[in-house]
Structure 1
């Protein structure tokens, strides 16, 4: 029986045809003509096949690309039921994602790049879908159900890929239309009422001229935190989402290709419950009493909070979070004289609506959330040369281009106080002095609003060239200049609540006014919008990247590169005065090898990295005088340093059908200069001092990350093959709190996924049983700070999920 070739790094394997199927001309679109991954079956004597990546915007063998990359095929991701950016972390070293909801999705490489849930500040890790840079990380909140391949590129990528890619890129490529008809349906049932359906169809509309591809998905699963309130639903780990994608591939002649993509996705999901973990009654540094705490305030209602519960919640005001997004892009490739001229025009929008139970209780204290409306327009025009262009007796290839982006965002933060709010937020003196009615009147019905409108216009010119100095030695040089204009305005106000001066007087009036002012005084910065100080920024990114082919199977490379991300227009929390965030600058060094051994049965790719970030942009926090809770703001960390080693490998073992994959990273990530850090709120001197984090480990950056697994296929009957897979993810202990609180530590943990299935050799269908986090490991992806009105709370990772999946081609 003939077995399918093995794909290295689980990515799509190389093909050599110059024409598409059915004789259509080569589309020029990544993934349009690539071979289909038929699983991980291997034969005795099989070798690891070439994997084609587009990390440098041209199709290349991954082992010939002199930068640290990870490529994963859509077939592998689909088989192991990895459909979201959060799932991808279990297959790639140095990639971490925290995704409690769309707006707070945080994508980091080597521990940096986290999202601040502030639309004025962009991430440092770029997300690119089908060649289009995504400016709002919330646009990645979707199931990527029809994926050809994903690539993770580490280190600054600005000389070719997108804007604000100073720490790396996550590039996702969907399957392209084909002129060969194909239809596929997949159905999954699992625990917690898991029900997933996917369907796709492709084929010609006009033979050899126009092909289409349509794909849809629906994903439902109940949460794992059962709400104890009557009629309450289960939160977290839940999904209620659907989406679709319609594509057209137009090839009017052998030299022109156009790919147009229209997509829509939406969700309405019970997520974003960070459950209370602990509420210490004493300061962690001296053991003194913290005074009024979250717990002591709840005792005023004779309510005792349940902490660290992994299966239940008790909420009266949590609503589902709704998202919606739409996109359209068109890419045209024109080939002439060996050159390719590419144009990518795109539009995307994103809407988000959250309303959370802010107090994590059934009491009527507060509810809040943010509305987001984001739109982006982009245009890219580039020229790609053929390989080995002769110039002055030397051989070169190059790319150069222009890029423009307009990003417009409107956000509205909302907080509503209920009948129990005044009683909860009052100080001890206020609580003892006021009647129950006065306490209720102080905040009941008060509605806070904070509107913000950050806009960005970005224009860039870039170029990258590779000089083939000899048959073995290459030198790649890249340069990008980006001009950005950023604006922002804010307006904060409150409405509602009774007229306190008409009901109370004297000390009583002073007390009720004080309670109300404690929650609203930062929401009354003037009578109209405050316009920020416009940023006009001009920045440079550059790359120097020599490489040398030591042998046919060993490539050595070195790179030094720099990237810069412009600042953000911001305002002082107290006065409303301009308080812009400075630009973030990255200087990165990489030294690595890409190697094949044992007659191409083993690949082993080690890489050393050293990255220095100056003025790293981050969400900081502090407690302002007179405030009962921590206040967050955007600011700069003077210096961050990343240093470590990464390794990836694949091994086709002597055992027929067995392949091993492994990757790992050691990352010594520290704050190299952070003398004005906000102190953890569990310390007694929080409100009077700043802390020096210089030399301390970066929050959310485990020292060690490892991924390993195996795929095994075996013929079990004539014409039928069974397949097995196991994958393991390991992370060491890390502090997940931005202020490095002693209560922010997540211990080391393992996550294990596994599956078994059967398929006919024809590939017409397959049936599998699978599980994710099969040992039901409890772990957090984020741990918040505490204050006098809130406890330490945590974002839980997904628990055990298992299911049975049937997939068939029609």
Structure 2
């Protein structure tokens, strides 16, 4: 009998004992209880208890766990599990939860997990639904490109696709460089998903300062297996999954292939074209693995996966518009009352303009209706693929050297338009992203002494965004939409005597000012990491274990950007002569259209041709004051759409040496009760970026490194013969120079827009101080016959201790005399509910030999939170809880199962407002049927 070198089992143990261990494991693993007499099972289990205890002692003497690796706990190695009898319900689920709990019981930090068995019962394979089933970790409601993962209320990064995540994700020991990859992927064949809270890095992978999500998938084995599942349901849902694996060459080469195809209509149809739905699903995933074992000391695992281009009109591709509230929250000094909102500057006011009222079938009522009604929209496209090689070399029974090499890419293109029946923005527009990452890790796990385990290694990473761009395509309604009230009045004047008459020249300028204009801001980022890490764990006594780790990394960040005109559209003649360091070749004039003195002969000739084009006069000098004012207004409309152009500019690079460290202790009060305490320090590299421009070049806005000090005190308990497992942790994390998406006030753009609203540029920035503190609880209970209960919950207080220059939310906007910033110190972080939790229950009852009736219920709840990074009070969500159920019948000793699936059973409204005048609907109830089978 041969065992994997990664288990670290001494091969000197007797073959008789290993065969006995195998038999014990088989006896304890899930089997169809009705096919055997329950009392006979209990007697057999009791007879094996002594042998299991002896085997556990043998494993302990042999150093059964490779230092730093998850302990090789199995259902067979947990003696109390042998006494559970035949009323444990789904024993595969029970064993999986129990094994995970035992492995994490002595971990000196807050860690929670969900098993693959639990996820499969609800056909859960997307990242958001997976992590929502674990305590105190959430994801944002966005498309994958702007997804953010936050632990303990920290990590919200919506809209910042290049921001390195504070919460990392590692799949089979390969770290994802950006959260978008994690959010895009469907996860198949999952063994466990764990969330490690707080700073990480001394144990390898990429360092993170808020937490890490660790996903482990099932490895190939030399036992043939085949599984398949099909789900059909409402909204034309079809999900097909298949897993096939087994030996290619016995004891040398094995494979495992998993395939998933998922498609579904969204719950919201486009009134203009019902063939397109919003929040649809269109994903295909293929994952192939090879396991090579040329000798007992060498094991190689090769993985390749691909998610080809899919097309989804996803959650943040739309939000329903609301009429802005009538007043701001600031006091107008002239009246002493809340300042009134000037609706002429609001979107609803724009639609009241005569240009848009020409259409009788679309009005403000349609604009603010909670329905999709758009003429131009493209689906977003996403794709990712990757490959990795994990080679393990067992140097000695207690020493393993690993080499983990990986590559992955990611591509995204946004297809958004104006989301209306008008075309001030023309699809496809928005963000385009391409990304590649390479990583190499060398990791040594050793046990130099019986009481001492060690992990050390080297880690190298390179992440490249060759293109991260924002493209704006303007349509035929852009001039009328973006013109300020003063500009619009000049270009579409109303004659009271002839109210239906239009000014042809003014209308022509409104049309041409921005029609077919395409502008692009294109950025490039290069991130490099070189790190060395070391971690020691010392069993100071039979009860006390001490852990210490450190990591030193050299981080470099380079960035460059440019902003340019990709297409001039229909009115290049309305360009200025130059914008910053970009020469355009137009002519310059003031707001009234009067030519400036610095125009040369070529510019004056262009001005004459412009006068001919729009007003049928030979020379610019022949224009009337009113005509020149119209040209000045049109040029102003266009200038605002051009914004801050600049040639390719290098940002000030970030270079830094960062340190991660941890100290922890765990003390066993008894064999089943442990207390743990830890201190951890983490650092996240700063950012190199270009934000806006000066007359000479793009403006570099460097961001400093983020730092955190985290403290934890917890207790772990396994009681009632493993029928009760509980973990509670109190924590406090203090962040300095916390990095998050923010907005930088742009006075130049504000003046160009002329609409009374402060204009901002999206950027990354430092918040001086942030604190997150609270309590986390994980409980699993198997004491009720045929029933499994698991609860994960948390109370979290995550707030800004100091944030004196936060951008103002909508209700503090307008002509607020306090300016474009406000003090948000003391405010709760966006996306951070105080209370959150997940309750899972499984009831599996054997009704006949080979037949099991099962019901699973999952309830996920959270209290309200602010859904806007500017902390608008209007975006506070209400508390809600979503209940999912699965009820079915298992046949043929688990080889076939049919189940009814219901998501959001009570059709709870979990909608939110992403800003003070927008509404995003929730996800309504869905019903489907799943068929699963295996050979």
Shift of 1:32: 11
Higher strand share: 1
Among 113, 138, 160, the alignment partner of 2:203 is 160
Shift of 1:313: 0.5
Higher helix share: 2
Q: What secondary structure sits across from 2:511 in the alignment?
A: helix
Q: Normalising by structure 1, what TM-score? A: 0.91
Q: Which residue of 1 aligns with 2:514?
A: 443
Shift of 1:26: 12
Q: Which residue of 2 aligns with 1:591?
A: 713
- Are 1:289 and 2:348 matched, yes or no? no
Q: Which of the pair has more CA radius of gyration?
A: 2
Q: Which residue of 2 aligns with 1:319?
A: 378
Q: Which residue of 2 aligns with 1:799?
A: 924
Q: Which residue of 1 aligns with 2:684?
A: 565
Q: In structure 2, how many angstroms separate the alpha carbons of the residues matched to 1:675 and 1:26?
A: 50
Shift of 1:773: 1.0
| Correspondence list, 1:482-501, <5 A | 482-494=553-565, 495-497=567-569, 498=571, 499-500=573-574, 501=607
Q: In structure 2, how many angstroms separate the alpha carbons of the residues matched to 1:691 and 1:487?
A: 31
Over residues 357-387 of structure 1, what are the superposed CA-to-partner deviations in whole Å (9 max), with x where a residue is unaligned? Answer: 2x3211011142111111111000010013x
Shift of 1:230: 3.3
Q: Which residue of 2 aligns with 1:458?
A: 529
- Are 1:417 and 2:474 matched, yes or no? yes
Among 340, 351, 358, the alignment partner of 1:298 is 351
Shift of 1:797: 3.9
Structure 1 residues 45 and 243: CA distance shift in structure 2, 3 A: closer
Q: In structure 1, how many angstroms separate the alpha carbons of the residues matched to 2:125 and 2:274?
A: 31
Structure 1 residues 660 and 776: CA distance shift in structure 2, 3 A: same
Q: In structure 2, how many angstroms separate the alpha carbons of the residues matched to 1:287 and 1:590?
A: 47
**Any stretches of 5+ residues in structure 2 without a counterpart?**
1-25, 32-51, 58-63, 77-83, 330-337, 358-362, 492-505, 575-606, 615-619, 621-627
Shift of 1:142: 1.7
Q: Which residue of 2 aligns with 1:360?
A: 419
Q: Which residue of 1 aligns with 2:432?
A: 371
Maintained 8 Å contact 1:349/1:375: yes
Maintained 8 Å contact 2:197/2:212: yes
Over residues 141-195 of structure 1, what are the superposed CA-to-partner deviations in whole Å (9 max), with x where a residue is unaligned? Answer: 0211221111111111121143241100011111110100001111110000000
Q: In structure 1, how many angstroms separate the alpha carbons of the residues matched to 2:856 and 2:688?
A: 49
Among 334, 344, 355, the alignment partner of 2:393 is 334
Over residues 664-717 of structure 1, what are the superposed CA-to-partner deviations in whole Å (9 max), with x where a residue is unaligned? Answer: 100011100111111112214558242111111111100100211311011223
Structure 1 residues 119 and 54: CA distance shift in structure 2, 3 A: farther
**Any stretches of 5+ residues in structure 1 without a counterpart?**
7-13, 19-24
- Are 1:667 and 2:796 matched, yes or no? yes
Q: In structure 2, how many angstroms separate the alpha carbons of the residues matched to 1:529 and 1:32?
A: 54
Structure 1 residues 120 and 804: CA distance shift in structure 2, 3 A: closer
Among 282, 294, 299, the alignment partner of 1:257 is 299
Among 385, 409, 414, the alignment partner of 2:446 is 385
Q: Which residue of 2 aligns with 1:349?
A: 409
Q: Which residue of 2 aligns with 1:9?
A: none
Among 895, 914, 926, the alignment partner of 1:764 is 895
Among 715, 725, 746, the alignment partner of 2:846 is 715
Mean Cα displacement is larger for which, 84-93 or 249-258?
84-93
Q: What secondary structure sits across from 2:700 in the alignment?
A: coil
Q: In structure 1, how many angstroms separate the alpha carbons of the residues matched to 2:816 and 2:798?
A: 25
Shift of 1:636: 1.0
Q: Which residue of 2 aligns with 1:176?
A: 219
Mean Cα displacement is larger for which, 280-289 or 377-386?
280-289
Q: In structure 2, how many angstroms separate the alpha carbons of the residues matched to 1:519 and 1:31?
A: 59
Maintained 8 Å contact 1:679/1:686: no
Shift of 1:76: 1.1
Q: In structure 1, how many angstroms separate the alpha carbons of the residues matched to 2:262 and 2:512?
A: 44
Q: Which residue of 2 aligns with 1:530?
A: 649
Q: Which residue of 1 aligns with 2:809?
A: 680
Q: In structure 2, how many angstroms separate the alpha carbons of the residues matched to 1:256 and 1:799?
A: 51
Maintained 8 Å contact 1:463/1:479: yes
Over residues 729-777 of structure 1, what are the superposed CA-to-partner deviations in whole Å (9 max), with x where a residue is unaligned? Answer: 1111111111111211111111000010111252111111111112222
Structure 1 residues 33 and 68: CA distance shift in structure 2, 3 A: closer
Q: Normalising by structure 2, what TM-score? A: 0.79
Structure 1 residues 766 and 2: CA distance shift in structure 2, 3 A: farther
- Are 1:276 and 2:333 matched, yes or no? no
Structure 1 residues 437 and 559: CA distance shift in structure 2, 3 A: same
Maintained 8 Å contact 2:523/2:561: yes
Q: In structure 2, how many angstroms separate the alpha carbons of the residues matched to 1:212 and 1:771?
A: 34
Over residues 312-369 of structure 1, what are the superposed CA-to-partner deviations in whole Å (9 max), with x where a residue is unaligned? Answer: 3012222111111111100011112220001000010111111212x32110111421
Maintained 8 Å contact 1:120/1:569: no
RMSD: 2.8
Q: What secondary structure sits across from 2:432 in the alignment?
A: strand
Q: In structure 2, how many angstroms separate the alpha carbons of the residues matched to 1:32 and 1:489?
A: 48
Mean Cα displacement is larger for which, 626-635 or 168-177?
626-635
Maintained 8 Å contact 1:27/1:257: no
Maintained 8 Å contact 1:667/1:703: yes
Among 619, 632, 636, the alignment partner of 2:766 is 636
